[in-house]
Amino acid sequence: MIITIDGPIATGKSSIAKKLARAIGFIYFDTGAMYRSMTWGLLKHNINPDDVEAVKAYLEKFDFDIKIRQGDRYYYVEGENITDAIRGEKVTSAVSKISAMKEVREKLMALQREFSIGVNAVFEGRDMGTVVFPDAEVKIFLTGRPEVRAKRRYDELKAKYPEDFKEMTMEKMLEDLNRRDTEDSTREIAPLRQAPDALVIDTSDLTVEEIIQKIQEFKDTRRTRLKEAT
């Protein structure tokens, strides 16, 4: 079974997807980390995202790997552990533009579908339920008030990467979040949108545990309805 969790930035997707996967014994995939890893690689090699041919050439040799140690996932590009590096400001500022590229999305969508073969997994991202896995049995779409999401993102980045984000303010964070929302929802290729059959959950005033409970209830109900329909 594939469970997809989509939604804009800072709705709690990663925390929820991780805990849900552990609770039900599924594998967890953070597809946003894959796009960040691709972005990191392009930045490392000083490849201009406007140079489509150079991007295509890099995609052909993109060396990406995921390693799991003690339940935690680590991301590698060209053999280098970039798990922390991909959360820095440079990657964060560039990832929306790069992830909107048709060539990049096609490459990573193929990788995501390859990872899904023969497994029970929770895939978290922006277009999992609409583009990558349109036939997924369970689809979740998380939302949240922009001010709540900006505060959540601000606190997280300040705590984890104080040097990279020492100049960041709440006003700038909210501005960046609104910009990302607009870019993600209006891009030509695979825009962020809710799948018609997805369960929508506003995470603003709910705990992770409450959200996971809602998802599990939806999953069980959905599976029962699918069985009754066959």
Provide the pLDDT for residue 229. Answer: 65
Provide the pLDDT for residue 74. Answer: 95
162 a known binding residue? no
The answer, yes or no, to whether residue 224 has pLDDT greater than 80, is no
The answer, yes or no, to whether residue 68 has pLDDT greater than 90, is no
Confidence of residue 209 (pLDDT cuts 50, 70, 90): very high
Tracing tokens 């984000």 back to the chain, one arrives at: 165
14 a known binding residue? yes
Provide the pLDDT for residue 204. Answer: 98
7 a known binding residue? yes
Confidence of residue 182 (pLDDT cuts 50, 70, 90): very high
Q: What is the DSSP letter of 26?
A: -
* C-alpha distances out from residue 100 to 77, 105, 177, 204, Å: 20, 7, 16, 27
Give the pLDDT mean for 82-104. 91
Helix residue ranges, H only, 66-198: 89-99, 102-116, 146-160, 170-186
3-class secondary structure, 4: strand
12 a known binding residue? yes
Q: Are 122 and 16 in contact (CB under 8 A)?
A: no
Of 164 and 229, which is predicted with more confidence?
164
Q: Are 63 and 78 in contact (CB under 8 A)?
A: yes
**30: which strand partners?**
124
134 a known binding residue? no
Query: Residue 202: left (phi > 0), alpha (psi -120 to 50), or beta?
Result: beta
CATH, domain range 2-203: 3.40.50.300
Extents of the domains making up the chain: 2-203
Confidence of residue 230 (pLDDT cuts 50, 70, 90): low
Report the distance separating Cα 227 and Cα 53, nearest Å: 47
The answer, yes or no, to whether residue 161 has pLDDT greater than 70, is yes
Min mean pLDDT across 12-16, 113-117, 184-188 is at 184-188
96 a known binding residue? no
15 a known binding residue? yes
Give the pLDDT mean for 17-42. 95
Report the mean per-residue pLDDT for the chain.
93
Of 228 and 111, which is predicted with more confidence?
111
Provide the pLDDT for residue 173. Answer: 95
pLDDT tens track for 42-52: 999 999 999 99
